[in-house]
């Protein structure tokens, strides 16, 4: 018998439930510890290092693609494309909710668990990279002269100013909103640095992978959103292209690692031929609750029926 069964005194419990829940909650706690570390790092990091790393990432973009991609994309003058990129980038949360809803409706409990664990795993993989590469966004690097010591004579700065001069109204609004709400605050020594890898791209890649696992048609539809989300992360000046590339790598590593772990799940089950999910626990509890409510309602109706019968007899 599973040790957890002895502790909780329930025959319905099994090691898979406990292991899955422990992994989820444990990952969450570890993630918060990492976040404390990264906040300390970002509040104490030297501005020169932030400028150096940010400039390096932009330089990698140029080395790979022959241009400073986030600013080159500002040449797009189509309101239609601009809207699609803007909405796709801001729609990540809705897409995560949608893929989870589809998985729930389809009853794919194993895929639901794999998605949740992959989501947690990518967090754990990304945080050390955020810590090692404290880079601000392209907009903050070249669009805020009060922020960092950036050479005004550099080719990157000149190209950036040309790109910023032609920025669209929607993207400009997005930058203004971000600058006001959660951007760097140099006056208190805080820099908003977690840009590499891009979690928009990381989680978008997970959504795409699980969409294809559900259906090729769904995967094809999600691919359209994914491409706009990918390009949108650069177009909105929130990421360098290398952030997106690293985001894809983090997503694939998290996805493959999670699938490898779940593949060996049967070794820890009380019934090897049966797959369990922590969702089964809630399904069983919900069924029991419905049964109890049904019995309770029937009991109340019987009592009221007896009362009414008694009242009629008295009359």
What is the predicted pLDDT for the residue at 63? 92
| Residue 242 pLDDT exceeds 50 | yes
pLDDT in tens, 210-231: 999 988 999 999 999 999 999 9
Task: Provide the token pair at 136.
Answer: 């601000």
Provide the 10 A C-beta neighbour count for residue 272.
Answer: 9
pLDDT in tens, 134-173: 888 888 888 877 777 788 888 888 888 888 888 888 887 8
Query: 209 pLDDT exceeds 90?
Result: yes
Q: List phi, psi (to 5°) of 12.
A: -80, -15
pLDDT attached to residue 13: 42
Please check the confidence at residue 238 and state whether its pLDDT lies above 80.
yes
pLDDT of residue 208: 95
pTM score of the predicted model: 0.70
Whether the CB-CB separation of 279 and 113 falls below 8 Å is answered with yes
CA distances in angstroms from 94 to 22, 41, 100, 203, 239, listed in the order given: 27, 31, 10, 12, 20
- Longest Cα pair distance anywhere in the chain, in angstroms? 102
Side-chain-facing half-sphere of 188: CA atoms under 13 Å: 8
Question: What pLDDT shows up at residue 281?
Answer: 52
Please return the burial class of 132, using the count of CB atoms within 10 Å of its CB with bins 0-12, 13-18 and 19+: exposed
* Token output for 313: 């007899």
Residue 171: per-residue pLDDT: 80
Q: How many residues are given for the chain?
A: 315
User: Residue 171 in contact with residue 235, Cβ under 8 Å?
Assistant: yes
Q: What is the pLDDT of residue 10?
A: 41
Lowest mean pLDDT among 115-119, 181-185, 240-244, 309-313: 309-313
d(CA 27, CA 120): 6
């Amino acid at each position: 018998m599973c040790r957890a069964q002895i502790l909780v005194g329930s025959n319905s419990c099994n090691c898979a439930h406990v292991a899955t829940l422990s992994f989820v909650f444990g990952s969450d706690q570890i993630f918060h510890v990492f976040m404390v570390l990264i906040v300390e790092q970002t509040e104490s990091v030297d501005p020169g290092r932030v400028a150096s790393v940010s400039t390096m990432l932009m330089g990698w973009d140029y080395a790979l693609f022959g241009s400073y991609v986030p600013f080159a994309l500002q040449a797009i003058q189509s309101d239609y494309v601009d809207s699609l990129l803007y909405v796709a980038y801001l729609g990540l949360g809705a897409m995560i909710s949608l893929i989870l809803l589809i998985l729930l409706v389809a009853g794919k409990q194993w895929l639901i668990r794999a998605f949740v664990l992959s989501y947690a795993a990518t967090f754990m993989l990304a945080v050390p990279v955020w810590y090692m590469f404290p880079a601000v966004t392209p907009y903050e690097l070249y669009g805020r002269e009060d922020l960092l010591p950036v050479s005004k004579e550099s080719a990157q700065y000149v190209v950036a100013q040309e790109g910023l001069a032609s920025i669209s109204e929607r993207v400009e609004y997005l930058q203004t909103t971000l600058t006001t709400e959660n951007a760097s605050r140099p006056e208190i020594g805080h820099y908003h640095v977690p840009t590499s890898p891009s979690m928009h791209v990381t989680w978008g890649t997970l959504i795409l992978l699980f969409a294809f696992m559900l259906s090729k048609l769904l995967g094809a539809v999600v691919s359209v959103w994914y491409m706009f989300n990918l390009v949108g992360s650069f177009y909105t000046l929130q990421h360098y292209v290398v952030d997106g590339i690293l985001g894809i790598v983090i997503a694939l590593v998290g996805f493959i690692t999670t699938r490898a772990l779940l593949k060996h799940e049967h070794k820890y089950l009380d019934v090897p031929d049966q797959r369990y999910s922590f969702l089964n626990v809630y399904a069983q509890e919900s069924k029991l609750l419905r049964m109890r409510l049904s019995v309770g309602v029937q009991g109340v109706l019987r009592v009221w029926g007896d009362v009414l019968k008694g009242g009629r007899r008295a009359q």
